[in-house]
Amino acid sequence: MILNFSEQNQGVVVWDGIPRPVDTRRHTSVSFNFNVTADLVADAVFIVQEAPASEADMCLPGTFGPVAPVPLCDTDPHEVPAVHATIAVAGGTKKGAVCSGALPCKPGPFMQLVAASGPTTNVRAIAILSGPR
């Protein structure tokens, strides 16, 4: 089998101070690398959003909304569920660090990260789009 890792695992900037939507339809999974550009004094928290294709142009995203959290088998059944899926880069992370994050399920056809709280402008996020293209 011949593998082309650069084609099958594309990196796309999805956050560099502003959301940059990405089309995930030709890929089987999405994960993230977070490049810390300045020391984090608090958690940098992102909300993961998804959108269907626009009715006017299927190549563009429609209206974005938050991705619902996915309950996991080891989640405390008495825990209050989250309202939406978030990814946090921990406060105390130093400039130059690269952190990884993922969701247990692939979001809708289009996805983006938006700032929720903390010093999100000190983080650059890259979506790693994996699988066939």
- pLDDT per residue over 28-66, tens digit each? 888 999 999 999 999 999 999 999 999 999 999 999 999
The larger pLDDT score, comparing residue 1 to residue 100, is at 100
pTM of the predicted protein model: 0.85
Q: Classify residue 61: in a domain, yes or no.
A: yes
Pairing of strands 29-36, 123-130: antiparallel
Helix (H, G, I), strand (E, B) or coil at 98: strand
> Can you tell me the distance from the alpha carbon of 113 to that of 64, in angstroms, rounded to the nearest whole number?
10
* Beta carbons of 28 and 131 less than 8 angstroms apart: yes
Residue 105 pLDDT grade (very low, low, confident, very high; cuts 50, 70, 90): confident
Question: Which SS3 state, helix, strand or coil, does residue 101 take?
Answer: strand
Residue 75, domain member (yes or no) = no
What's the domain range around 64?
11-68+82-130
Which helix or strand (DSSP H or E) is residue 14 part of? Answer: strand 9-15
Q: Is residue 56 part of a domain?
A: yes
What pLDDT is attached to residue 60? Answer: 94
Total domains in the chain come to 1
85 vs 78, more confident: 85
* Phi-psi region at 6: left, alpha or beta (left = phi > 0; alpha = psi -120 to 50): alpha
- 5 is a domain residue: no
